[in-house]
Structure 1
Amino acid sequence: MKFGVVVFPGSNCDRDVAYVTRDLLLQPTRMVWHQETDIADLDVIIIPGGFSYGDYLRCGAIARFSPVMQQVVEHAQKGKFVIGICNGFQVLTEAGLLPGMLTRNRDLHFICDRVPVKVERTNLSWTQGYTNSEVITLPIAHGEGRFYADEATLAEIEDNGQVVFRYEGENPNGSLNNIAGICNPQGNVLGMMPHPERASDAMLGNSDGLRLFQGLVEKVAALA
């Protein structure tokens, strides 16, 4: 399985996630500059956290027009895997690959913390390494992480079972329905505000996030 990590001007978690896929999971991984237009060699696209284009205009709003994003959309439409983490989640909503949007945190402050997150679905390739309703701990670091959608869209997301992660206990940013991560109806595109790559190395005292990447690798290996 070959991973590609998209790098925009302002990405700052790209090396973190590449460390997980390349060094911890020993999977081929390459950095994909945002101006590239050929990602056909990749199985999984990761859009990492950071501040793409300085978060000017609106988080993810400029990044969605980068040349690589048209290729990411086509990659997803073919049923291949895409994950957007934090700023990457924002980019995926701006690109129309996921519904809803991410808005300013409820208290209008940047939040950097570790929070309990409940796994809502374990029948996805991404989450098969977890147990039903398992509560894990993941870091968050965002100023615009409040998930919002209009009433009809929110109902559709819930009815389709597209909520993959919810904040457990106190809602840190005011996200509607405590939503921390969602997928598309097909389940191959995942967006989440918490950072699984920052909870993947046991040396850091928490490896709850590693199982997300491990589950995907194991699922694809089993199908090979």
Structure 2
Amino acid sequence: MAKVAVLVFPGSNCDHDVYHATKHVLGQDARFVWHKEGSVGEADLVVVPGGFSYGDYLRAGAIARFSPIMKDVVRFAATGGLVLGVCNGFQVLCEAELLPGALMRNASLRFACKDARLRVESTATPFTAELETGEVLTVPVAHGEGNYTADDATLDELEAEDRVVFRYVDAAGEAVPEAAPNGSARNIAGVRNARGNVLGMMPHPERCVEPVLGTADGAKIFRSALAHLGAEVGDVA
């Protein structure tokens, strides 16, 4: 059984979804970690959830990056600990410089809330090691600032180092511009760090871990990470 630390900031609204997914659905030892705590404890996996940390004042993730707990998250990641940032969590990880790039306002200037198709681009991370390259997952998005942006040199480096983990695609599995709900550069939906232990993604895998939700594709991402940790996980009903 893996120990999962779910961070909670003022304004987090997906922390309970992550807790439910990891504890009640996947049967792991999950607990909430308040942003003012100084340590993630004996965690095997740290999840930085979605929401609107600190009301997204200044810009999304900018204030949460300075929360006391984030200093230990940086330490945890540096030791090889698994860190998953989802939506606002992705924004926080970029602000904390655990991941490159930034998340800007959606190109449409509208909030995007719908199912998105994600093509698995890389299996060189524990979060996708159990998946197949080219596999297409259906995972919901819900964000106003999910437009992944980086300079061309950084984007080229991410591509060359196999660090683009997920890409938005259409029904045919093609990464056409129209498939990205936010205008992300090169249709990028998720990236990893060089070591592969830190993943940031805008879509919400914790919102699709049970068939009753329409798709359980999100469970595949959690199950892959848990398998890497050697945790036993039952079948998703």
Q: Structure 1 length normalisation: TM-score?
A: 0.97
Q: Secondary structure at the residue paired with 2:59?
A: coil
Distance between the aligned counterparts of 2:22 and 2:6, measured in 1? 10
Distance between the aligned counterparts of 1:41 and 1:117, measured in 2? 32
Q: Give the corresponding residue for 2:225.
A: 216
Q: Structure 2 length normalisation: TM-score?
A: 0.92
**Counterpart AA for 1:126:** F
Q: Secondary structure at the residue paired with 1:10?
A: coil
Q: Give the corresponding residue for 2:92.
A: 91
Q: Give the corresponding residue for 2:39.
A: 38
Equivalent runs, 1:21-60 vs 2, <5 Å: 21-60=22-61
Shift of 1:40: 3.2
Whether the 8 Å contact between 2:124 and 2:162 is mirrored in structure 1 is no
What CA deviation, in whole Å up to 9, does each residue of 1:25-61 have, x standing for no partner? 1110110000000223111110000000001110000
Match of 2:203 among 171, 194, 198: 194
Match of 1:177 among 148, 161, 186: 186
Shift of 1:124: 2.1
Q: Give the corresponding residue for 1:129.
A: 130
Unaligned runs of 5+ in 1: none
Unaligned runs of 5+ in 2: 171-178, 232-237
Q: How many residues align?
A: 222
Q: Give the corresponding residue for 1:162.
A: 163
Whether the 8 Å contact between 2:6 and 2:46 is mirrored in structure 1 is yes
Whether the 8 Å contact between 2:125 and 2:192 is mirrored in structure 1 is no
Shift of 1:137: 0.5
Q: Give the corresponding residue for 2:21.
A: 20
Q: Secondary structure at the residue paired with 2:61?
A: coil
**Higher deviation after alignment, 53-62 or 154-163:** 154-163
Distance between the aligned counterparts of 1:176 and 1:4, measured in 2? 31
Shift of 1:93: 0.1
Distance between the aligned counterparts of 1:3 and 1:77, measured in 2? 17
Shift of 1:156: 1.1
Q: Give the corresponding residue for 1:114.
A: 115
Q: Secondary structure at the residue paired with 2:93?
A: helix
Q: Give the corresponding residue for 1:101.
A: 102
Distance between the aligned counterparts of 1:56 and 1:19, measured in 2? 28
Distance between the aligned counterparts of 1:171 and 1:6, measured in 2? 28
Shift of 1:132: 1.6
Distance between the aligned counterparts of 2:5 and 2:116, measured in 1? 27
Shift of 1:85: 0.1
Distance between the aligned counterparts of 1:164 and 1:109, measured in 2? 25
**Counterpart AA for 1:91:** V
Shift of 1:123: 3.4
Shift of 1:121: 1.2
Shift of 1:194: 0.3
* Misfit runs of 4+, over 3 Å: none
Distance between the aligned counterparts of 1:124 and 1:71, measured in 2? 21
Identity of aligned residues (%): 53
